[in-house]
């Protein structure tokens, strides 16, 4: 359950992150109406700023490109998967997207190749982090951010609006854990007034999410790092998707970001799969760039540059003409990929290609 204050503070956070655009605000909304990305973020922030909004009934790649050109969209907000789908459209280069003055992404951190491609749409790019339980964004990057400065980060907090802290787990009695030191990983927590009222008729679930002090535990793991004299938030991953291998916690994003920097790699998605020796093994799905000739052997060699416990036990090439499974909010469906990985692992076990 959200309140007006949650939404209004989120609107101000996003407005500050976007900054002032040269032209009147015209926003495209093509996200699911059941998601805060559609309603409280893009739509209501447009209302908050007095802008114009173009609505698409559903996300459609070609209709999105047509609408940007036809309605002279100045601000476009999507998740990385949607941008990749736009760029993959065979007629993408034929559309006039020169009206775009700001493009923002959320839902996952961006790697350098993605960010460089995004900046080709317009140099003014940005990102932030949030969730349904806080009505949208809690952090956002500073205007003028570059692809290099945005790698791995999800923006900065606005303490005068609402604090964001990194904390140790909530105590058994429901009290918030202590804050950790700068640079140390922990659970990302949001403070009022960007904390929801609670889950409707679910007091137990609400108590697990909100501490006695009113602090919201997000389930996201991250840390603060100083960038240009400002503490920027870096996202390590979702707590539920952390891979437990060889006694270490492995964040899929760390493994993904390392390989995607290899020439010829378009997208990497990493999940954990049961492993008899390591508890969990690292399973990487890799989608190659068009005309790429990079081999799986070259990928394994590339992984020798990171800690051994972060190296995948198996790399599976994903069909170039097939999208990764998506959730209703158009994010890559990690749970679906885990099911696919377990099915493939069953075959690998028979040939001795797993559990060794």
DSSP 255-305: HHHHHHTSTTEEEEEEEEEEETTTEEEEEEEEEEPTT----HHHHHHHGGG
38 plus 127 within the same structural domain: yes
Q: 250-289, pLDDT tens digit by residue?
A: 889 889 989 998 999 999 999 999 888 787 899 999 999 9
Give alpha helix (H) positions in the chain. Answer: 4-18, 44-49, 61-71, 80-88, 112-119, 147-150, 203-209, 252-260, 296-302, 334-350
* Residue 356: inside a domain: no
Same domain flag for 166 and 248: no
Last residue of a domain, one of 201, 218, 237: 237
Query: Cα(145)–Cα(122) distance, rounded to whole angstroms?
Result: 12
pLDDT over 80 at 224, yes or no: yes
Closest listed residue to residue 69, CA positions, set 89, 84, 42, 49 = 89
Residues 182 and 305 placed together within one structural domain of the fold: no
Is the model's pLDDT at 247 over the cut of 80? no
Residues 20 and 165 occupy one common structural domain: yes
| 334 plus 212 within the same structural domain | no
- Residues 118 and 81 reside in one and the same domain: yes
Q: Both 217 and 303 in a single domain?
A: no
Written as six digits, the tokens of 6 are 């949650």
Using the 3D structure, point to which of 192, 209, 237 is the last residue of a domain.
Answer: 237
Which residue range forms the structural domain that includes residue 265?
242-350
Per-residue pLDDT tens over the stretch 162-185? 999 999 999 999 999 999 999 999
What CATH number did the domain enclosing 294 receive?
Answer: 3.30.300.30
Question: Band of the pLDDT at 8, cuts 50, 70, 90?
Answer: very high
Q: Which of 187, 207, 237 is the last residue of a domain?
A: 237
Q: Please indicate, yes or no, whether residues 58 and 142 belong to a single structural domain of this protein.
A: yes
Is residue 162 included in any domain, yes or no? yes
Contacts of 73 (CB under 8 A, 6+ apart): 26, 27, 28, 54, 67, 99, 100
Q: What is the pLDDT of residues 128-160, one digit of tens each?
A: 999 999 999 999 998 889 999 998 899 999 999
Number of domains in the chain: 2
Q: Which of 2-6, 174-178, 327-331 has the lowest average pLDDT?
A: 327-331
């Amino acid at each position: 359950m959200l309140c007006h204050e949650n939404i209004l503070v989120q609107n101000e956070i996003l407005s500050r992150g976007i900054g002032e655009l040269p032209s009147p605000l015209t926003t495209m909304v093509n996200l699911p109406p059941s998601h805060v990305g559609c309603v409280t973020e893009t739509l209501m922030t447009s209302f908050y700023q007095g802008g114009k909004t173009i609505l698409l009934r559903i996300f459609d790649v070609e209709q999105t490109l047509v609408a940007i050109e036809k309605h002279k969209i100045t601000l476009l907000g999507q998740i990385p998967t949607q941008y990749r789908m736009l760029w993959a459209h065979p007629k993408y280069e034929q559309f006039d997207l020169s009206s775009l003055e700001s493009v923002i992404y959320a839902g996952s951190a961006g790697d350098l190749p993605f960010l460089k491609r995004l900046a080709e749409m317009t140099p003014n790019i940005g990102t932030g982090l949030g969730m349904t339980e806080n009505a949208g964004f809690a952090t956002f990057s500073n205007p003028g951010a570059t692809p290099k400065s945005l790698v791995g980060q999800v923006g900065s907090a606005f303490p005068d609006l609402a604090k964001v802290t990194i904390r140790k787990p909530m105590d058994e009695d429901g009290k918030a854990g202590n804050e950790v030191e700068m640079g140390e990983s922990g659970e990302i927590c949001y403070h009022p007034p960007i904390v929801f009222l609670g889950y409707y008729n679910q007091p137990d679930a609400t108590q697990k999410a909100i501490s006695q002090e009113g602090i919201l535990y997000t389930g996201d793991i991250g840390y603060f790092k100083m960038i240009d004299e400002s503490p920027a938030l870096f996202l390590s991953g979702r707590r539920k998707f952390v891979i437990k291998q060889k006694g270490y916690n492995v964040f899929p994003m760390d493994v993904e970001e390392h390989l995607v920097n290899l020439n010829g790699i378009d997208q990497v998605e990493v999940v954990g799969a049961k492993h008899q020796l390591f508890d969990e093994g690292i399973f990487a799905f890799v989608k190659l760039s068009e005309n790429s000739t990079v081999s799986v052997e070259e990928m394994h060699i590339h992984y020798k540059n990171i800690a051994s416990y972060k190296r995948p036990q198996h790399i599976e090439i994903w069909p170039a003409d097939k999208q990764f499974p998506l959730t209703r909010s158009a994010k890559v469906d990690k749970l679906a990929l885990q099911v696919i990985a377990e099915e493939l692992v069953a075959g690998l076990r028979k040939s001795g290609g797993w559990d060794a």
